[in-house]
Amino acid sequence: MTLEVNSAPGRALRAVDQEEGATAMGLAHPKYKVAVVQAAPAWLDLDASIRKTIGLIEEAADKGARLIAFPEVFIPGYPWHIWMDSPAWCIGRGFVQRYFDNSLAYDSPQAEALRAAVRKAKLTAVLGLSERDGGSLYIAQWLIGSDGETIAKRRKLRPTHAERTVYGEGDGSDLAVHDRPDIGRIGALCCWEHLQPLSKYAMYAQNELGRASPCTIHSRRRSAPRSTMPPRESMRWKARASCWRRAQPSRRR
């Protein structure tokens, strides 16, 4: 899905003809396309996740997008197993080790492949991933510029409920807005961070223009569930990327 948004006010000026023939300067709002990924990931398979992510980046670039936003932990997918049974069950079934092994480390060849794909596509990407750092995992967002260089890396402040059996916590130092010459002042928050007023306030206070707002949706319904995100605020835009899974009835033995 693509959106067309206005860039930051003040990026350019244009002349406006007055009735008297005088010329005044007003704000112009350049437009650009944003690609919002709403797709199922390649669960528990890092290499397949990288291939799918690169394919979506290339598709977005081909359609003229200058920014692409991915769902929460799209790489290697959301750990649905944490909602199916106890942590001991998840360990016994092998989910915990497999999820850890297929999470992304920033110093890996897979991460370098992502940077190269973004650089080739000449767009800005906000990736959602399970970050592996030492012996810990984090719900992370990786902002990569159109030159392939890292704009920012951030971690979800506090994982939600059962997510705390998988992920560590962020420290808040990365609640930042980044001024980009091509797309304006952008930020990123994850899922339920949008329901925490002080997290959003920290972004607003930095004059945020747009935000990547990834989340994960777990639904037993055929139709899309009602959004739990707050309504659009003021002059800002939000790109909400979602990861989908159709829940099946439990068949435990």
Which one of the listed residues 52, 72, 90, 243 is annotated catalytic?
72
Which one of the listed residues 52, 90, 131, 191 is annotated catalytic?
191
63 is known as an active-site residue: no
* Integer angstrom CA distances of residue 102 from 50, 73, 95, 137, 160: 11, 11, 11, 11, 21
- CB count in 10 Å sphere of residue 221: 9
Pairing type for strands 124-133 and 237-239 reads unpaired
156 is known as an active-site residue: yes
Q: Which of 185, 99, 108 is nearest to 139 (CA)?
A: 99
Pairing type for strands 136-144 and 124-133 reads antiparallel
Which one of the listed residues 156, 193, 200, 238 is annotated catalytic?
156
52 is known as an active-site residue: no
Angle at 72 between CA 68 and CA 76, to 5 degrees: 100
Give the length of the chain: 253
Q: Count Cβ atoms within 10 A of the Cβ of residue 45 and give its class: 0-12 exposed, 13-18 middle, 19 or more buried.
A: middle
Angle at 232 between CA 217 and CA 140, to 5 degrees: 45
Pairing type for strands 124-133 and 65-69 reads parallel
List residues with catalytic annotation: 72, 156, 191
